[in-house]
Structure 1
Amino acid sequence: MEAFLNFFETMPVWMKAGWIVFLLAFFWILEGNYSLVRFQYKKWKHARINIFLLVLVMVINTVFGVITTWLFVWLGESQFGLLYLINAPVWVELLLSILVLDLVAQYTVHYLLHKVPFMWRLHIVHHSDKHVDVTTGTRHHPFDFIIRETFALLALVIMGMPIAYYFLYRILTILFTYFSHANIALPGWLDKGLCLLFVTPNMHKFHHHYQMPWTDSNYGSIFSFWDRLFGTFVYDDTSKIKYGIDVADHRDDENIAVQLRIPFDRSVGKMQR
């Protein structure tokens, strides 16, 4: 276990970037052969804005990387956090850390991005994509990403976890983000079986439906049981899904300048809640 965790602690930046590129390419290829929806679109043109937003958040992530490193040093010196209060095997600490990260840094912040008005305006950019595919997983307004990363740091402080736990979790979230957004058709029995525990492509697609109440459902990233536990789980017929968001359907979803302005554009209406 120590060697396994040490791998993630010492994982070079190029390998982390390679993991992103590999997963994007892998699911991109699968989409071409096992599509859930047969989009009539120019895939590279559609991907351009989403990849551009990915580059922006990766730049921001370097700043958070400095903050995160400082936090880990401080946590180690002060021994602050829940993990310092319990005496548990490494695998138990790791599991608890992943669960808390997934609850705080994914489900909770995602829920708030839908419920808090100013946060929702930022998150509209993610939902404005009318052709949800693997690249949609990279589509976040920079300020949306900053809020998400802040909640991730909060989870770190709560747990006082080693850096290896955090890096392993980040690798897992990248996998599940691209997996759940990918335009792939899993066999029904497989998707329903997997979503008893994990977030699956079909499950997450209901979250990208253009209207309530489905838009405000299925907030999870890795584990589906948060949605089941808090009553936000939805599963239905995927043929009923229409991508996009009703309050921004009049905006160009493939224009980077338009998308970056959406949070400050008062012509974009508010969702009735």
Structure 2
Amino acid sequence: MESFLNFFETMPIWMKAGWVFFCLAFFWLLEGYYSLVKLPYKKWRHARTNLVLLLFVMIINALFGITTVGIFIWLDESKFGLLHLFEAPVWIKLLVSIMILDLIAQYGVHYLLHKVKWMWRLHIVHHSDKNVDATTGTRHHPFDFIIRESFALVAVIITGMPIAFYFFYRILSVIFTYFTHANISLPIWMDKGLSYVIVTPDMHKFHHHYQLPWTDSNYGNMLSIWDRMFGTFVYSDTSQIQYGLDISDLTDDENIGVQLGIPFNREVRSKKS
């Protein structure tokens, strides 16, 4: 188990970046054969905008990586964090770390991005996509992503996890990011069954519906238990889903300049009930 985790600790940067593009390309191509809905858009043109935003995400991720290394060195020397308070097999501590990361760095911060007014204005960029597909997974305003990364570091400090745990979670998170946003159709029995444990494509699509209350539901990224536990879980008929956001319908969702300016554009309202 430890040798398996050490692989992620020593994984070179080019391999991590390659994993991101491999997962994105895999689900992006899969959409062409098993689409949930036929989207009326030019796939490459749509991807261009989201890939530019992905570039910002990767740059921020690299900068945070420098800070992250310093934090892990301090945690290793100080033995600070919840994982140092009890003895357990490595796999138990890994599971605890993944669950805490998923709760704080995904569900928790995502909930706040919807509920805190100034954070929501940043998050509008993610929801303004009128054609949700795999590339939407990394469609985040740079400031939105900085907030997400900051919450991830908070989770790391709380647990005191080793860096291998964190990198392993990030690799898993990449899969779920593109899997849940991909325009793919699983058999309803499979999607609904899996949704009792993990976030599925259909489950997450309700979150991208253009109107409340579905927009403020299904915040999870990897585990669906948080939405079920905190009463934010929704599952219904996917044919009722319409992508986009009613408060930003007049903005150009494929114009990178317009999207970067949405948080500061007062013509875009903050919330609509």
Question: Does TM, normalized by the shorter one, top 0.5?
Answer: yes
1:151 — aligned with what?
A: 151
2:18 — aligned with what?
A: 18
2:213 — aligned with what?
A: 213
Greater alpha carbon shift after TM alignment, 236-245 vs 17-26 = 17-26
TM-score (norm 2): 0.99
Distance in 1, Cα, partners of 2:209 & 2:197: 22
1:112 — aligned with what?
A: 112
Distance in 2, Cα, partners of 1:261 & 1:38: 29
- How far 1:87 moved relative to its partner? 1.0
Distance in 2, Cα, partners of 1:128 & 1:170: 25
SS at match of 2:227: helix
CA RMSD of aligned residues (A): 0.6
Amino acid paired to 1:204: H
Number of corresponding residues: 273
Amino acid paired to 1:271: K
Distance in 1, Cα, partners of 2:61 & 2:138: 13
- How far 1:180 moved relative to its partner? 0.1
TM-score (norm 1): 0.99
Post-superposition CA distance 1:25-70 (Å, at most 9, x none): 1111110011001012110000001000000111111110000000
Distance in 2, Cα, partners of 1:199 & 1:124: 21
Distance in 1, Cα, partners of 2:272 & 2:239: 24
Residues 60-209 of structure 1 aligned to structure 2 (within 5 Å): 60-209=60-209
- How far 1:100 moved relative to its partner? 0.2
- How far 1:247 moved relative to its partner? 0.6
- How far 1:101 moved relative to its partner? 0.1
5+ residue gaps, structure 1: none
Query: Percent of pairs identical after alignment?
Result: 70
Determine if contact 2:247/2:272 at 8 Å carries over to the other structure: no
1:223 — aligned with what?
A: 223
2:239 — aligned with what?
A: 239
- How far 1:120 moved relative to its partner? 0.1
5+ residue gaps, structure 2: none
Distance in 2, Cα, partners of 1:168 & 1:191: 24
Distance in 1, Cα, partners of 2:225 & 2:197: 6
List 4+ stretches of structure 1 deviating above 3 A: none
